[in-house]
Amino acid sequence: MNTKTEPNKIAPTVDELIDGYTRAQLVILAANVTEALRLTEAEARSKAKADALALIEAAGFDAHELFAVEAQGRAGAEAKPKAEKVIKYRDDKGNEWTGRGKRPGWVTAFVDAGGDLDTIKLA
């Protein structure tokens, strides 16, 4: 981009940016930009969290006290404890599945390869 011949132009066009790059190079560039954006967002969130905690503490509050979640339902009702997770399937590599929800990839691959779920089902 030549700002002398194009003084009102603030940034290069997409065509100018990608000129000379192969598709493979652009894919790598896109992945790097995506990762940079993720890291930038994570850093911003971390800083915002630290700033918020500093304000909370400066006001004399404890974050747990300020954001305590009360049991839902009737006033005074206790929250129901979560049921214990029961493993129903386990393969020889130690992968486990409760049998609830979407099948994990290792189960799908096992079945697609001709495996029978009964062979990895726990008693």
pLDDT top residue among 123 and 71: 123
Q: What is the DSSP letter of 89?
A: E
Q: So what's the pLDDT on residue 10? A: 80
pTM of the model: 0.41
C-alpha torsion 93→94→99→105, nearest 10: -50
Residue 59 lies in a domain: yes
pLDDT-wise least confident of 13-17, 23-27, 33-37, 39-43: 13-17
Q: How far apart are the first and last CA of the chain?
A: 69
> Does any domain span residue 78?
no
Residue 75 domain-assigned (yes or no): no
| pLDDT at 71 (0 to 100) | 45
Q: Domain count of the chain?
A: 2
Supply the mean pLDDT for the chain.
84
- Would you say residue 93 lies in a domain? yes
- The token pair at 36 is 């940079």
For residue range 21-38, list pLDDT tens digits in order: 999 999 999 999 999 999
**Three-state DSSP class for 34?**
helix
Q: What average pLDDT does range 84-103 have in this prediction?
A: 91
Confidence of residue 2 (pLDDT cuts 50, 70, 90): low
Q: What pLDDT, on the 0 to 100 scale, is given for residue 75?
A: 53
**How confident is the model at residue 42, as a pLDDT?**
95
CA torsion 8→14→18→20, rounded to 10°?
-60
Look-up: residue for tokens 């009702």?
77
Contact 1, 12 (CB under 8 A): yes
In 10 A of CB 56, how many CB atoms? 15
Report yes or no on 1 lying in a domain.
Answer: no
Distance CA 58, CA 29 (A): 43
Which range marks the domain in which residue 62 is found? 14-66
